[in-house]
Structure 1
């Protein structure tokens, strides 16, 4: 299992980026519209940390991991068969691959396919 993308949703993106920069000596990009306006930094494993503001009024602050998978649809189907609710079906992120989100027992799980 490899975490490909770690997403932080917060109402104060600048403060979160400043904190992660100071604590972990990383630099963040400008906002990427393909990632919901997230500012990103590269993780030691080659993945990305993305920090963005909520995309809707009902989206609460959260830290969500996205596991790299070979077949995102098969992974979502398997999660659904095990009782997970599909919150975001597989969707294309131009230039980044595909992502999906399921919720199982109140925990949001993200999947990413390159």
Structure 2
């Protein structure tokens, strides 16, 4: 039996977060939250799939704009280890986000993605 892949959190890092939130609010008919500290100051909106999109500014000068899906997994340590075995660079090992679960970021070259365990 094949399990369904679910994007739990879609993170968009942009130097113009307010402009993008406004554009998405109008075109997608969603409402964004106030900035959420534990998500790097991201403003979030719920997706009809049950996931969340978060839009935020880079957290430091070296952080490049990106769109990063975080896939929902049952065992984040196992998912990160399997990605590493497949050649991924572990940019952020599993870390706790208070009240939200654990997340991690892996990179295959310039392609960034993440895992999220709730």
TM range (shorter): over 0.9
* RMSD (Å) for aligned C-alpha atoms: 0.6
Query: In the alignment, which of 52, 56, 63 is matched to residue 59 of structure 1?
Result: 63
Q: Which runs of 5+ in 1 are unaligned?
A: none
Q: 1:96 aligns with which of 90, 93, 100?
A: 100
Size of the aligned set, in residue pairs, is 114
- After TM superposition, list the pairs within 5 Å mapping 1:1-12 onto structure 2: 1-12=5-16
Runs of at least 5 residues in structure 2 that lack an aligned partner in the other structure: none
1:44-74 Cα offsets, whole Å, 9 max, x none, are 1111000001011011111110000000000
Q: Secondary structure at the match of 1:79?
A: helix
Deviation at 1:95, TM superposition (A): 1.1
1:83 aligns with 2:77: no
> What is the rounded CA distance, in whole Å, between the counterparts of 2:99 and 2:35 in structure 1?
14
2:41 is the counterpart of 1:17: no
Runs of 4+ more than 2 Å apart: none
- 2:109 corresponding residue in structure 1: 105
Structure 1 length as normaliser, TM-score? 0.98
C-alpha separation in 2, matches of 1:96 and 1:53: 20
Which residue in the other structure is 2:52 paired with?
Answer: 48
**1:109 CA drift (Å):** 1.4
Deviation at 1:106, TM superposition (A): 2.2
TM-score scaled by structure 2?
0.94
